[in-house]
Structure 1
Amino acid sequence: MKAIWNNTIIAESENTVVIENNHYFPPDAINTMYFTKSETHTHCPWKGEAFYYTIEVNGQTNKDAAWYYPKTSPAAKPIEGYVAFWKGVEVVA
């Protein structure tokens, strides 16, 4: 799977985990040069507290376009630390 934004591959892995129709990429699959930690946090009742990244590619910024759960509830352990995308980031095979 590849995560693409602004015509750039920002993450790539053969080992994503799919939950609620989102592909979660292993932390080592993201190209960290495009990611900046955000101050945004949200809470999911069954996964836990989500943290966000802002993505910056070729001078364009996509605020909070990626999220991850650094510490999950026991039910969501398979995605702990993994990164998922939205806000126009295309995830393709």
Structure 2
Amino acid sequence: MKATYQDTVIAEAPTDDLVKIEGNWYFPPSSVADDLLSTSPTPYTCAWKGACQYWNVTVNGVEKKDLAWSYPEIHPSAVDRAGLDFSGYIAFDRSVTFSE
């Protein structure tokens, strides 16, 4: 599966390595072009996942704020709910195109 923004692949991994939660694809950290991401100060905490880390994505010199997010340390019950430990996996805004 590829995650593409503005014609640039920002993440790519086999679909079997991804997890889909609440309609969002979460990519393993190693599959994300981390040179395109920078941390965002936007705060958010999900009641069942835990504290969220938002990421800004820069493509062709243009930064898109909060285009991605992850949960570095998820609540233990989130593992049960999702079926696996997705700590650090990164999801993307719906403006990102996903293709197999």
Q: TM-score band (shorter)?
A: over 0.9
- Runs ≥4 in structure 1, deviation > 4 angstroms? none
| Higher strand proportion (structure 1 or 2) | 1
The structure that has the greater radius of gyration is 2
Q: How many correspondences in the alignment?
A: 93
Look up the match of 1:6: 6
Q: Give the alignment's TM-score, normalised by structure 2.
A: 0.87
Counterpart Cα distance in 1 of 2:94 and 2:66:
8
Aligned to 2:47: 45
Residue of structure 2 in register with 1:92 after alignment: 99
CA distance in 1, matches of 2:74, 2:2: 24
Query: 5+ residue gaps in structure 2?
Result: 80-84
- The Cα offsets for residues 47-89 of structure 1, whole Å up to 9 and x where unpaired, read as 0111111000002211010000000011223211100000511
Q: Structure 1, unaligned stretches of length 5 or more?
A: none
TM-score when normalising by structure 1? 0.93
RMSD of aligned residue pairs (Cα, Å): 1.1
Give the fraction of aligned pairs with identical amino acids, expressed as a percent: 41
